Chains A and B, each alone.
Chain A
Amino acid sequence: MGATGAAGVPGGGADDVSHMLDLRREARALAIVLPELSLSDEARAAAVDEWLGRMVNEHVSARVFAALIPQLMRAGVDASEQAVVADMVGQELRHGRLCAAVVDALGGDARAPLPELVDVPTHDDATPLEAVLRNVLSISCLNETVAVALLETGRELAGPPPIRRILTEILRDEVNHAKLGWRLVERLLPRVDAATRARLDAYLVPAFRQLLERHYVPDHLARPISAPEVGVDDTRASCALFLDVVTTVIVPGLEAHGLDARAAVAIASAA
């Protein structure tokens, strides 16, 4: 399912216009030209749908990084890190435009409904430091670390040079988005007490649960078509890679920082 299927757009009336993401002009301005592709109609449609979904996903994820900035300020995190995160807002918006350009180059229409924009939690029950750690764990250590694996794999399997170049640019940024989290965890976790650390362990349960909901694809739900040369992943292979990243990279990495990620994954997958 792509962006059109994922959207929760309120029905009816002129309000619909404000709930659409229209990057057709931006896509045309980037003028991506693909070589002639020997794709079936079904594969091309799947590719358009996938890149359209990515366009929306990348665009709206800019707000997630934007919301991190005041949290970093409240937690007294270095101003240089705040500036780095501010750049990430622009990067996600650019990724949306790059994905739109691929949609356009594939013959699609870079316009799609926006999904419901869930607010980024401020975690007012926690200290500023704990609050920002919760969000950084979820955003960077979990989600962006998985994204790096998926993107590098996709880049390796991509065919047309313009698509490889776009994936390379997005990957470069996502690597930094993931590194941000691991860097902040290394710097900030030693400053929290045992009780806070225990609450962060507990927070990892809903964080991993969300990650599993997002990336785990049971066999019966696997997409019947894949065209990795144009960015349509084999969902079974992507799911297997996702599980490997969680068990060999994320969980051991968090455990090395003293967080009980193993227990969190076990609870998230069973409860």
Chain B
Amino acid sequence: MSTPEHARKRGLRAALAAAGGRAREAAPPIVITSLTLLAALAASGCLPKWGPPAPPAFPEAGRTT
């Protein structure tokens, strides 16, 4: 079993490999200031995170399958 830090690095490397493998300049850190987003987070809590959800509609909900 790995240490948590080693495992985290492996996870990041795996994601990078899946995305094409080229390391690029990182984007700035994310700072969440949206109150509506923070409220939504409070509602969702610690849900399982693997399977993808249905993508969001854009710009508004249109016809669906």
Contact = CB atoms under 8 A, between A and B. Distances in A.
Interface of A: 1-3, 5-6, 50, 53-54, 56-61, 63-64, 67, 70, 92, 95, 118-125, 134-135, 137-141, 143-154, 156-159, 170-171, 174-175, 177-179, 182, 186, 202-203, 206-207, 209-210, 212-218, 221-223, 228-229, 234-235, 237-238, 240-253, 255-256, 261-262, 265, 268-271
B25 to A, nearest CB: 6
A179 B18 contact: yes
Nearest to B51: A61
Interface residues of B, number: 56
Nearest to A5: B45
A213 B34 CA distance: 11
User: What is the predominant secondary structure among interface residues of chain B facing chain A?
Assistant: loop
User: Which of B2, B7, B42 has the most chain A CB atoms inside 10 A of its CB?
Assistant: B7
Contacts of A157: 1-2, 4, 7
Contacts of A143: 52-53
B51 A156 contact: no
A3 B48 CA distance: 8
Q: Per DSSP, are chain A's interface residues mostly helix, strand or loop, or mixed?
A: helix
Interface of B: 1-2, 4, 6-8, 10-20, 22-34, 37-38, 40-42, 44-59, 61-65
Nearest to A67: B65
A57 to B, nearest CB: 4
Nearest to A55: B48
Contacts of A50: 48
Contacts of B52: 61, 64, 138-140, 143-144, 147, 177
Contacts of B25: 252
A265 B27 contact: yes
B62 A271 contact: no
